Amino acid sequence: LGDGASAGNYGYSNSGYSVYEEENERLTESLRTKVSAIKSLSIEIGTEVKNQNKMLSEMDNDFDSAGGLLGATMGRLRTLSRGSQTKLLCYMMLFALFVFFVIYWIIKLR
C-alpha cells in the first residue's frame, strides 16, 4: 500500500486488474464452451444407450421365441426317437423307394 495505490484496489493498478479480468473472462468462456460440448455429447450417449437397450430387449424376445421353437422341436424328436425304430426304418425305405421310382420314371421319359 505504500506505493501510492488506494486501499480499495488492494494493491492492483487499474490496468493490471483489467488484464486479469479479461484473462478470467476468456478462460470462463473456454470452460463454458467445453461444458456445453460435454453436455451435448452426454445427451447423445444417453440417446444411443436407450436405442441399444431397446434393440437388446427386442433381441432377447426373439431369442426367447426361438428357444421355445427349438424346445418344441427337441420334444418332438425325443418322442420320435422313443417310438418304434422299425416303423421309422419302414418309412425311410418307402421314401427311398418312392424317390428311386420318380428318378426311374424321369429317366424313362427322356
Residue for grid cell 424321369: 106
Yes or no: say if 9 and 17 are a contact pair by the CB < 8 Å rule.
yes
* Side-chain-facing half-sphere of 97: CA atoms under 13 Å: 6
Give 52-110 pLDDT, tens digit per residue.
999 999 999 988 888 888 888 888 878 777 766 777 788 889 999 999 999 999 998 87
Provide the pLDDT confidence category of residue 2 given band limits of 50, 70 and 90: very low
Give 19-64 pLDDT, tens digit per residue.
889 999 999 999 999 999 999 999 999 999 999 999 999 999 988 8
86 or 2, which is more confident? 86
Name the pTM for this structure.
0.47
Q: How far is CA 90 from CA 1, 13, 83, 86, 104, in A?
A: 115, 109, 13, 6, 21
